[in-house]
Amino acid sequence: MRTRFILIDTSHAGNVGGTARAMKVMGFEELVLVNPRFPNVLNRDETVQRASGALDILKNARVVSHLDAALEGMTHLCATAMIPRDFGPPTLTPREHLGALAQEIQGRQEHPGGEHSGVAFLFGSERFGMKNEDVYRCHVALTIPSNPSFGSLNLASAVQLIAYEWRTALGGFESTLEPPWPVAASVGVERADAQAVAGLLKHWEESLIQIGFLDPLAPKKLMPRLQQLFNRAQLTREEVHILRGVAKHMGGRVAGKEIDS
């Protein structure tokens, strides 16, 4: 699905580079700048540095003088606006709007002769946001839920959030990583809290020193590895008691004591 990110009246070169990086991370390629402050913004040092390797996005980006040129071929326009506009389009969060939009467009494209849709996300200047007349042209105004008393969001950060939500709506990317440990299947089992696991780890450390398995002067990575082992196991409180009993027996045997079960 064709997706275009449009920055209008951008004044900070770094935000252009940050936008390119945000787009590339989420697998989007098409960037258009409308009347940026610096005509050479795509080649400025700050832009290139903030892009952090997304130079192909900058290389293929277009700079135009007016919004009409940026909207060519786009059939669904999404403004970004913190404050709803009177007589403007409906104001929705990205998650409220983009999931339904992706389903609608993908459904049309599955049928022969279905309309090929282009979706454009429009972002205003860093100081003033989007002009009313530009918002009015859009089908929806996307507002990012944020702290009501401090809702100002950096432009590149806003692009990253919108790009993430749109990619998620489109199905996301398949992860190539295996989960670090399985999610516990048992329901209603009381898991040991962090304090209990820390106490268990300390008990094991003391006992391993007693039996000579752990050298306190050269512990290397044994205890952090045991920590991760216990975390992956998602221990219950009962299992912590069992393992502490094992540690108690190890230390007791070395000391020549008889331990009651």
In tens, the pLDDT along 27-59 reads 999 999 999 999 899 999 999 999 999 999 999
Q: What is the pTM of this model?
A: 0.73
- pLDDT for 21 equals 98
Q: Does the pLDDT of residue 237 top 60, yes or no? A: yes
- pLDDT for 220 equals 87
Confidence of residue 191 (pLDDT cuts 50, 70, 90): confident
- pLDDT for 259 equals 46
Confidence of residue 1 (pLDDT cuts 50, 70, 90): confident
Type of residue numbered 199: G
**Runs of H (alpha helix) within the chain:** 13-25, 45-51, 55-60, 67-70, 94-109, 132-136, 155-169, 194-210, 222-233, 237-254
Q: Tell me the per-residue pLDDT of 72-84, one tens digit each, with 9 for 90 and over.
A: 999 999 999 877 7
CA atoms within 13 A on the CB side of 42: 18
Structural domains in the chain, CATH included, are 2-169 (3.40.1280.10), 194-254 (1.10.8.590)
* Cα–Cα distance, 249 to 231 (Å, whole number): 23
Q: What angle do helix axes 13-25 and 155-169 make, rounded to 10 degrees?
A: 20
